[in-house]
Amino acid sequence: MATQEKPRLDPETARQVISPESYAEWDGILDTFDRLRAEAPVAWVDADDDAVHPPFWLVTRYDDVMRMSKDNTTFLNNPHSVVFSLTEGIEFAKAFSGGSEHMVASLVTFDAPIHMKYRKLTQEWFMPKNLRGVEDDIRAIANAAVDRLLAGGEEADFVKTVSAPYPLHVVMQILGVPEADEPRMLMLTQQLFGGSDEDLNQSGMKDLPPEAITQLVAGAVKDFEAYFAKLTAERRANPTEDVASTIANAVIDGEPLNDRDMMGYYIILAAAGHDTTSASTAGAMLALAQDPEQWARVRADRSLLPGIVEEAIRWTTPVQHFMRTAAEDTEIGGQPIARGDWLMMNYVAANHDPSVFDDPRKFDAARSPNRHLAFGAGAHQCLGLHLARLEMRILFETLLDRIATVELAGAPARSKSTFVGGLKTLPLRFTTA
Ligand code: HEM
């Protein structure tokens, strides 16, 4: 299909939808999504500069994103499933990995039939029944996080003291990474996925040319590999109940996982498990701090907590997009799509679709049903969704027990990122119970 026939976004809007700054400012991008859902729900985004990103279709309506998520035959995760892969980055990854466009192979880069074989290895581990076995450990980590918060007096940045470190501790614990190694893991995941926020990304990547960034990321992958090769050897010699043991001893089609696939598994869990849950946790606290009466209500009636958790996940939508590639000529929302076209499922847009969510910008803990798309849907639906909800529930139970009142002590700020977003600061004032 010729490019000029496509409903192409004007250059300013095209820049806005992939710009990390837009997601930090938030309201402006929500306005744009409202306009696009109404006027061009499947719109062609062409940067006119392939060095930034290859062109793609931006899909903003809930029903279209849901249909794409569930049709894993027509819409594939391969060859690349997030937009922040710069074109040079993709070329570098091919050279680095011997042909693949991914620096690391992982669940989000696989399609059927291999995807399910890999997913099944740990799927049971992440089910609610099994997670009961780690509840006490999570509660201890939550209590330690609240100790830290209270230790600093009656004001603190909730992100730095609680919502950022807490999910990191949990995911590292389930992966079997000792606490002393956590800073190193954090550094590595930031190098891999830190995006462009200078406050969050300690690696100084934003000032580097794309080639230097890809080399830095490749270095991070190598460091990860070395780290987890050691952990694998330990878990093969002495298996425990943790996820690292499950992966280290996994067998697919009669063969143990090769090193690259095993590292990909560790990396996706380490990377997917912390920033995401941190963002929804901070979002829940922001909503409660903005409405102190809600804090009092849920302190008195804990049955309100699951609604708050679920709405916080929709309201914040930490994972802002995933990409798919059309396996064949098809259509979405009435728009013809050619085989090989790249498409962005924008979860922020879908979760603010007013045809599904009344008053979508409002935090409404009583929203029911709340069938948001923050965890995706279909074969790739978030593997850690039960864990994320459990972590949030346990943390807020602990906070509600120990904190009587909470309010904002300054302006919160969102991070600059096109992929995983959320609050980077949340200044709070509180009184203890
Ligand atoms: C996949 C969101 C927490 C592990 C995904 C996807 C989304 C997502 C949108 C892609 C779904 C799709 O393509 O249809 C979130 C959010 C979280 C969260 C919003 C927190 C509120 C976690 C946690 C873990 C985790 C705690 C594990 C430690 C994964 C994995 C995948 C995934 C392994 C890939 C699954 C696959 O491709 O089969 N997540 N996630 N996530 N998530 Fe999460």
When pLDDT is averaged across residues 412-421 and rounded to a whole number, the result is 92
First to last CA, the chain: 64
Q: Which residues pair with 344 in a beta bridge?
A: 58, 323
The conformational region for residue 280 under phi > 0 = left, psi -120 to 50 = alpha, else beta, is alpha
Cβ(268) – ligand 1 distance below 6 Å: yes
How far apart are alpha carbons 330 and 337 in whole angstroms? 5
Q: What is the mean pLDDT of residues 99-122?
A: 86
Among 55, 35, 36, which Cα is nearest to 46's? 55
User: Ligand 1: distance of its center to the CA of 407 in Å?
Assistant: 30
Read off the pLDDT of residues 179-232 as tens digits, 9 standing for 90 and up: 888 887 777 776 666 555 656 555 556 566 767 767 777 777 788 788 888 999
Least confident of 200-209, 306-315, 398-407: 200-209
- For ligand 1, atom 41, the nearest C-alpha belongs to 384
The residue whose CA has the least distance to atom 39 of ligand 1 is 382
**Does the beta carbon of 116 sit less than 6 angstroms from any atom of ligand 1?**
no
Report whether pLDDT(85) > 60.
Answer: no
pLDDT of 266 reads: 87
Name the residue with the closest Cα to ligand 1, atom 28: 273
Q: Is it the case that residue 263 has pLDDT exceeding 50?
A: yes
Give me the pLDDT at residue 98, please. 63
The angle that helices 259-290 and 385-402 make with each other, rounded to 10 degrees, is 40
- The string over 196-224, giving b where at least 16 C-beta atoms fall within 10 Å of a residue's C-beta and e elsewhere, is bbeebbebebeeeebeebbeebbebbeeb
Residue nearest to atom 38 of ligand 1 (CA): 380
Highest mean pLDDT among 164-173, 183-192, 278-287: 278-287
171 lines ligand 1 (CB under 6 A): yes
pLDDT tens-digit map of 25-57:
999 999 999 999 999 999 999 977 666 788 999
Q: Which of 3-12, 73-82, 159-168 has the lowest mean pLDDT?
A: 3-12
pLDDT tens for residues 366-388? 999 999 999 999 999 999 999 99
Higher pLDDT, 402 or 204: 402
Is the CB of 386 inside a 6 Å radius of any atom of ligand 1? no
The alpha carbon of 8 and the centre of ligand 1 are apart by a number of angstroms equal to 30
pTM, entire model: 0.94
Residues 376 and 67: their CA atoms lie apart, in Å, by 11
